[in-house]
Amino acid sequence: MPKSSIQVQEFAQKKPYLVASVFSVAAALFAIYMVQARVCDIRRQELDKVKAQLAPLTASDLQLKTAKTERDKVVKDLDDFKTLADSRYFWIGLLDALHQVLLQAEAATKADLVDPRTGANADVGIWIETFRPVLPFGSPFEAEAEAAGANAAPIMMQGISGESRMNYRMMMMMQRYMRGAGGGGAGAMPAMPRSTVKMISPASNVISQISVTLRGVDRNRIRPTANAYLAYALQQALTNSPAFGGPITLGDMRNDMDTNTFSFDLTIPLKHPFKL
Of 150, 133, 109, 255, the C-alpha closest to 205 is 133
In sequence order, the β-bridge partners of residue 212 are 131, 266
- Cross-strand bridge partners of residue 263: 215, 254
**pLDDT tens column, 38-87:** 888 888 888 888 888 888 888 888 889 999 999 999 998 888 777 777 77
H helix or E strand, kind and range, residue 225:
none
Whether residue 95 is predicted with pLDDT greater than 50 in this model: the reply is yes
The percentage of the chain sitting over the pLDDT mark of 90, rounded to a whole number, equals: 29
What is residue 50's predicted lDDT score, i.e. its pLDDT?
86
What are 275's strand-pairing partners? 206
Inter-axis angle of helices 162-177 and 140-156, nearest 10: 140
Is the pLDDT at 106 greater than 90? The verdict is: yes
| Secondary structure class of 272 (helix, strand, coil) | strand
Crossing angle between the packed helical segments 90-112 and 226-240, to the nearest 10 degrees: 140
Q: 244: which strand partners?
A: 270
State how far the Cα of 202 lies from the Cα of 182, in Å rounded to an integer: 20
**Average model confidence (pLDDT) across the chain:** 76
Mean pLDDT is highest, among 25-29, 156-160, 172-176, 224-228, for: 224-228
Check residue 142 and give its pLDDT: 58
The residue-averaged pLDDT of 243-248 equals 87
Buried b (16+ CB within 10 A) or exposed e, 97-114: bbeebbebbbebbbeebe
CA distance linking residue 129 with residue 236, whole number of Å: 20
Rounded Cα gap, residues 168 and 176, in angstroms: 12
